[in-house]
């Protein structure tokens, strides 16, 4: 049997809405009204109150943040379900704090049962992980990746990041599906068209 191409997928702010939940926790604790959409660089601490600064990262230790509070990005569950029929999907995620690892595994099992937990890789230096495609919201992970095809998931913090011509920028998971339709797989195209058509009619 021919081996499926490998797709490396980031978890935080690519499959889930971590930044939104994280900033909500910050606003609640420090009585601020910071809008996560206004964060336009990777260093979130620059947008916190001066007396908070890097303490904002301590909120990433909040129990349940990665297992209960974060939610899947719109369309990501169905999109990965479709892609899993034609590609081997691996979640590659950085875990700053050890306690986050278990929460991320539980969350993946709950929302993405079509991605085996055996296919979860924890790594900060994602350039060490080899695949055919990479999907990530951190521009540096995309730039340094050795994958042949690179997809940057648009977020406020990467809107002004300089990227090369070999990198595709996408705003959502529907666009990711359309991108993979260019891979000359007729069965995949049929699945995507059927899904998008059904989704469109449900909105009407």
pLDDT single digits (tens) 163-192: 989 999 999 999 999 999 988 789 999 999
Check whether residue 60 and residue 156 sit in a common domain: no
Share of the chain above pLDDT 90, in %: 90
Check whether residue 12 and residue 64 sit in a common domain: no
Structure confidence at residue 204 as a pLDDT band (50, 70, 90): low
Check whether residue 157 and residue 196 sit in a common domain: yes
Check whether residue 102 and residue 196 sit in a common domain: yes
Q: Tell me how many domains the chain contains.
A: 2
> Looking at the domain assignment, is residue 1 inside a domain?
no
Check whether residue 34 and residue 118 sit in a common domain: no
Query: In the numeric block, which tokens belong to residue 112?
Result: 């993405």
Check whether residue 41 and residue 90 sit in a common domain: no
Is the pLDDT at 139 greater than 70, yes or no?
Answer: yes
In this prediction, residue 1 carries a pLDDT of 66
> Looking at the domain assignment, is residue 54 inside a domain?
yes
* C-alpha separations of 36 from 39, 58, 97 in Å: 6, 17, 22
- From 68, 89, 108, the end of a domain falls on 68
Is the pLDDT at 203 greater than 70, yes or no?
Answer: no
- From 48, 68, 88, the end of a domain falls on 68
- How many helices, marked H, and strands, marked E, lie in the chain? 6, 6
Q: Mean of the pLDDT values across residues 30-34?
A: 98
Structural domain that includes position 37: 18-68
74 alpha-carbon distance from chain centroid: 11
E strands, the chain, are: 6-9, 88-93, 120-122, 133-136, 149-153, 167-170
């Amino acid at each position: 049997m021919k081996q499926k191409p490998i797709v490396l997928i980031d978890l935080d702010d690519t499959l889930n809405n971590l930044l939104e939940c994280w900033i909500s926790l910050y606003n609640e604790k420090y009585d601020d009204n910071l809008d996560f959409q206004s964060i336009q660089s990777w260093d979130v601490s620059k947008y916190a109150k001066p007396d908070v600064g890097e303490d904002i990262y301590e909120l990433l230790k909040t129990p349940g943040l990665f297992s209960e509070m974060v939610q899947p990005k719109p369309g990501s569950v169905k999109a990965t379900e479709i892609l899993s029929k034609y590609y081997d999907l691996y979640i590659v995620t950085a875990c700053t704090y050890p306690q986050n690892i278990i929460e991320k595994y539980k969350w993946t099992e709950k929302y993405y049962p079509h991605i085996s937990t055996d296919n979860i890789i924890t790594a900060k230096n994602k350039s060490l992980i080899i695949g055919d495609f990479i999907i990530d919201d951190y521009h540096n992970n995309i730039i340094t990746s050795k994958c042949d095809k690179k997809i940057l998931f648009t977020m406020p913090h990467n809107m002004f990041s300089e990227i090369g011509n070999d990198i595709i920028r996408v705003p959502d998971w529907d666009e990711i599906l359309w991108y993979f339709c260019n891979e000359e797989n007729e069965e995949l195209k049929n699945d995507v068209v059927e899904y998008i058509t059904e989704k469109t009619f449900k909105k009407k």
